[in-house]
Structure 1
């Protein structure tokens, strides 16, 4: 069976639920981008020299949601082209329709794309003051570091529920939810096969990285994945903050 059909068959067999993921997406304040802008979908030359990546972090549960979406909505050739992309850190998002600044997978776009531009620089400063004595320093530092990369004054934001959103972001509640949803996805046979190489289950990566793991031809996977993994900069199973401590959240938690 071809890798694409195998992957779709595996997704169908495991009945991966997307309802909880959609609920998390809908909880974030809604945004509206200018129709002539796609700045968040591409990296500048300066950003390419740093450690920023488009559509990253992409959680495992989100990857499978996107695969299901493109399989249902696009011709086989388009799906094949998207799933054979293995560039871990492209300069331009593979789902950007460059000529009209549109997103090919807008209804299924991942969480990071949905929250881009929600907080302004002033709101981040306010959050810094508000949580300085309420959260561990490392939590606050990571929140500010991450969200300072998501500032875009061109985006219009529905302010409804924004304070609740800021609280969830600062405490890492959204990241924990994405982590847990990804933990609930059964391990794919290839994950089990390379677990000793990756030192655990990969719950966060990029579109190209997950494609290399799940959608690559068997011959490529056998011959090249190990070397591909050695060069990875973005594929890992990160620690996620717990409300009770700074320890990582176990996948077995509720």
Structure 2
């Protein structure tokens, strides 16, 4: 099992534990707030890019063409928030869910030291006294493991490099 696959397995185990213990967990298909309000253009490693490419290859050519146009627009976008170009906006679902990057897999289930949860809906529930028994994943540990996979680049850079 390669390093990225093992990382996915470990993340999926933490996510499953949280979901199993919290049947009304907010993160699920249709809850796309994080995908519609990205603080920055997603950065991924080369291994994540190859995984993402597998998911993209399964899409119809016209959908890939539309994604490429949205990715190209991201390259010059300075305004925030950013809407993920891999989001099916009508369904509120990721077009490449099984191949999504680590940042997407951990969002809402992992915390980073001194930086909070990021998802305001989950933070609100936590502040109201709910979710106190949740054992969050350690995002600092995930970041450390991602560093071992090599340099991260913004999504448009991978697409542009792939076109050459």
| TM category, shorter | 0.5 to 0.7
Report which of the two structures shows the higher radius of gyration computed on alpha carbons: 1
Tell me, yes or no, if the aligned pair for 1:25 and 1:111 is still in contact at 8 Å. yes
Gaps of 5+ in 1: 1-17, 125-141, 184-202, 219-254
Matched, 1:149 2:118: yes
* Residues in 2 aligned to 1:58 and 1:150: alpha-carbon distance in whole angstroms: 20
Matched, 1:24 2:7: yes
* Residues in 2 aligned to 1:76 and 1:35: alpha-carbon distance in whole angstroms: 24
Task: Give CA-to-partner distance per residue, 1:186-225, whole Å, 9 cap, x none.
Answer: xxxxxxxxxxxxxxxxx2222223222x123x5xxxxxxx
Matched, 1:58 2:44: yes
Cα 1:67–1:39 change in 2 (3 A) is same
SS at match of 2:144: helix
RMSD: 3.1
Cα 1:152–1:110 change in 2 (3 A) is farther
* Residues in 2 aligned to 1:152 and 1:114: alpha-carbon distance in whole angstroms: 17
Gaps of 5+ in 2: 20-24, 126-130
Superposed displacement of residue 79, structure 1: 2.9
Matched, 1:104 2:52: no
Matched, 1:178 2:146: yes
* Residues in 1 aligned to 2:29 and 2:56: alpha-carbon distance in whole angstroms: 22
* Residues in 2 aligned to 1:58 and 1:115: alpha-carbon distance in whole angstroms: 13
Q: Deviating runs (4+, > 6 A) in structure 1?
A: none
Task: Give CA-to-partner distance per residue, 1:72-121, whole Å, 9 cap, x none.
Answer: x12333334434522135721111111111110110111111111115xx
* Residues in 2 aligned to 1:114 and 1:80: alpha-carbon distance in whole angstroms: 25
SS at match of 1:24: helix
Paired residues, what number?
139
Cα 1:36–1:65 change in 2 (3 A) is closer
Tell me, yes or no, if the aligned pair for 1:116 and 1:151 is still in contact at 8 Å. no
- Corresponding residue of 1:209: 157
1:39 to 33, 39, 53: 33
* Residues in 2 aligned to 1:57 and 1:152: alpha-carbon distance in whole angstroms: 24
* Residues in 1 aligned to 2:156 and 2:120: alpha-carbon distance in whole angstroms: 25
- Corresponding residue of 1:8: none
